[in-house]
Amino acid sequence: MTSPNDKFEAAKTIVETLKAFEGKDQEMIFRWAAESLGVAIASAAANPAPQLTISSVVTPGAGRNVPSQTDSEKSVGSVQDIKTFVATKSPKSDVQFAATVAYYHQFLAPVADRKSAITQDDLLDACRKADWQRPPNPYQTLNNAFHLGLLDRPEKGTFSINSVGENLVAMALPGEASVPNPKKRIAKKAARKPASKGPKSPAKSSLAKAKV
């Protein structure tokens, strides 16, 4: 059974590790960790709680708690136009661009414009705003991102970012990131049967005897 001190040390280690990340990345890391552990985390808006500092956790009563930042303040601080965000992430292909657009609309767009899923119209609008060359078939681009596991398809014609796509956009881009390649079926070649050895023809047999 773990002691309270062990729990405090674990909390201290987590906080020290996450200090190097920005607020939105910290929230994402918490969500991924919770999904991996099968732990449900209540949203801060539904269950507001005061933010605890490391000093108050390790030594209760010592130090003053810093008031937590409200969700609206976090949203205002993280708002970024899509052109700047795409330029920052520098996607290498149309499917990476589609994942970047879906990520932007769900997490970084102005609060009033945020949406959990995008359509081909949103993708075309992002191409115009971000100076990205329009793909020949926008819907097929979104479908390709879906089949590569970067997007989910909650309804026909709509696509939402999933944890794999989030990881690509938030952690791998920019850089030499690549999307997973779909597995191709390789047809098995039929094994060639060795030619059966039949009886030698009389002509070849008599020729062999003559040489001897």
Start-to-end CA distance of the chain, whole Å, equals 91
Residue 207 lies inside a defined structural domain of this protein:
no
Q: pLDDT of 189-198, one tens digit each?
A: 445 555 555 5
Please give the residue range of the domain that contains residue 97.
79-172
26 Cβ contact partners less than 8 Å away, ≥ 6 residues apart = 18
Instruction: Assess whether 89 and 64 both reside in one domain.
Output: no
Phi, psi of 183 (to 5 degrees): -70, 130
Q: Are 140 and 167 members of one domain?
A: yes
Report, in this order, helix, strand and coil percent for the chain, each rounded to 5.
50, 5, 45
Per-residue model confidence (pLDDT) at position 11:
73
Q: Which residue has the higher pLDDT, 32 or 166?
A: 166
Shared domain check, 69 and 100: no
Residue 72, pLDDT score:
37
Which region among 26-30, 161-165, 179-183 has the lowest average model confidence (pLDDT)? Answer: 179-183
**Domain membership flag for residue 30:** yes
Nearest C-alpha neighbor of 83 from the set 142, 126, 24, 135: 126
- 51 and 102 share one domain: no
- The pLDDT tens digits for 80-106 are 799 999 999 999 999 999 999 999 999
Reduce the DSSP state of residue 152 to 3 states and report it.
strand
* Alpha helix (H) residue ranges in the chain: 4-18, 23-37, 54-58, 71-78, 82-89, 94-103, 120-130, 138-147, 163-167, 202-211
- Kindly give the interhelix angle for 71-78 and 23-37, rounded to the nearest 10 degrees: 120
What pLDDT is recorded for position 46?
47
Same domain, yes or no, for 47 and 119? no
The candidate with the shortest Cα–Cα distance to 15, out of 64, 63, 51, is: 51
pLDDT (average), residues 23-49: 65
Tell whether 186 is covered by a domain: no
